[in-house]
Structure 1
Amino acid sequence: MEDEDEVLEALDKRLMQEVVITANEFGFMRGRSTTVAIFALRSVLETYRGGRQDIHVVFLHQEKMFDRIPEQVIWWSMKKYDRVTTIVRSIRGEMEEFSMRVGVHHGSALNSFLFSMATDTISEDLH
């Protein structure tokens, strides 16, 4: 089990080099504080309020999303990065425990990264 953890941690580092998560993604991201996100939102709201323009804000319950995000959404988000899909598929083929249908695999070193990548891709798609 320790060997699998080491492999997943190394994979996590490798994937973080391959994938650039946009600056507006704060959930489950190392070094990104939700305090900064709240401050940025407040600044945007004040700007729009002053100009009397409509603004739409979406809040997501990330803990619930984390447990319920479909596996297909994670794979869809990885298609943006060909090398990432190849790397994860090769690792996945060697590890039965990696298989999941709904939600991010708990206990994996990759869980927060895959979740952040998926929510970032969804966010980009909405723009």
Structure 2
Amino acid sequence: MENRKAVGPDEVPIQAWKALGARGVCILTNLYNRILSDRIMPDQWRLSIITPVHKGKGSVQDCGNYRGIKVMSHTMKLFERIIDTRIRQECTVSDFQYGFQPGRGTMDPIFALRILMEKHREKNMPLHFLFLDLQKAFDCVPREMIWWALRSKLVPETYVEIVRDMYRNSDSIVRTAVGDTTPFPITIGVHQGSALSPYLFSVILDELSASVQKLPQPWLLMYADDIALVDGDKGRLTRRVHAWREALENGGLKLNVAKTEYMACNSTDLTSLRIGDDTVERTDYFRLKTVKTKKALLD
């Protein structure tokens, strides 16, 4: 972990543990081993601080234009990294997922889609892209899906119970210019700002979509909660997205049709694409959203 990051409610920065050297390692080892044995973490870790940060666009008076940045205990985040490593050793997600996977990044799916596009242009064959957007996916996933997905992946019950305890009685306070609010419970979604959350969400999405992951790469590509469906036939693509929508909704996730985008190349069909009663307008470009930056997916 990097130094000089905002500290959680316990006000213990990571550099304090680094300054203790071998003594700090001994203290943390004893603490973490006790948590692994008892499967209960300290109650001080259950509280987090949320600071609203304006997105840089829209009215500052509109709460919808703010992003909540959650700050958690550094000691807890260090423990989360240990659990993250152990869970990754016990289960994997499909090769369709490129987000938060070692040795993978945004350039891999971008390259795959560009090569696919070039090959179809050479042969003058139609190609259709549908970029799915999930509505507040990390914030709205039911927590019961976390334990279900881990157990479906045959993760040892010890780690399942430890993860469940991390979400037990989790509270937050909002830090404002006039002071902090009183603590309030958060009962849905994965922890924002958590070192463990990205992989937990990947496991959930992988299990939910297992029944619809039928075509090989690059006909299906995922980066965290960004999903790209590709097909040479528009009708088949429509049927695929309906199957995806049903699979996602069965797990409590909702497809945001308003932000879902449809693109086509070498196609004489200039019409939009329909998902149920909703219409997805055709666009000329799409931008792949990542955690840190935005990169053009297709020029």
TM-score normalized by the length of structure 1:
0.71
Q: 1:81 matched to which residue of 2?
A: 153
**CA shift at 1:26, angstroms?**
1.5
Higher helix proportion, which one? 1
Unaligned runs of 5+ residues in structure 1 are none
Percent identity over the alignment? 33
Query: Which gives a bigger RCO, structure 1 or 2 (Cα 8 Å, sep 6+)?
Result: 1
Contact 2:139/2:188 (CA < 8 Å) preserved in 1?
yes
One-letter amino acid of the counterpart of residue 8, structure 1: E
TM-score normalized by the length of structure 2:
0.35
SS of 1:82's partner is coil
Query: Cα–Cα, structure 1 residues 100 and 21, in superposed 2: closer, same or farther, change >3 Å?
Result: farther
Residue-by-residue CA offset, 1:17-75 (whole Å, 9 max, x unaligned): 1111222101333432112112212334555674958x775423368322222223333
Task: Give distance in 2, aligned partners of 1:45 and 1:83.
Answer: 38
Q: Count residues in correspondence.
A: 126
Pair 1:17-2:103 in alignment: no
Unaligned runs of 5+ residues in structure 2 are 1-72, 172-184, 214-299
Larger radius of gyration: 2
Query: Cα–Cα, structure 1 residues 63 and 40, in superposed 2: closer, same or farther, change >3 Å?
Result: farther
Runs of 4+ with deviation above 6 angstroms: none
**CA shift at 1:116, angstroms?**
1.4
- RMSD, matched Cα: 3.2
Query: Cα–Cα, structure 1 residues 103 and 23, in superposed 2: closer, same or farther, change >3 Å?
Result: same
Pair 1:106-2:192 in alignment: yes
Q: 2:12 matched to which residue of 1?
A: none
Query: Cα–Cα, structure 1 residues 86 and 41, in superposed 2: closer, same or farther, change >3 Å?
Result: farther
Task: Give distance in 2, aligned partners of 1:104 and 1:71.
Answer: 7
Task: Give distance in 2, aligned partners of 1:19 and 1:84.
Answer: 10
Task: Give distance in 2, aligned partners of 1:56 and 1:4.
Answer: 44
Contact 2:150/2:160 (CA < 8 Å) preserved in 1?
no
Task: Give distance in 2, aligned partners of 1:84 and 1:101.
Answer: 24
Task: Give distance in 1, aligned partners of 2:109 and 2:152.
Answer: 25
Q: 1:92 matched to which residue of 2?
A: 164
Query: Cα–Cα, structure 1 residues 51 and 61, in superposed 2: closer, same or farther, change >3 Å?
Result: same
**CA shift at 1:114, angstroms?**
0.4
Q: 1:123 matched to which residue of 2?
A: 209
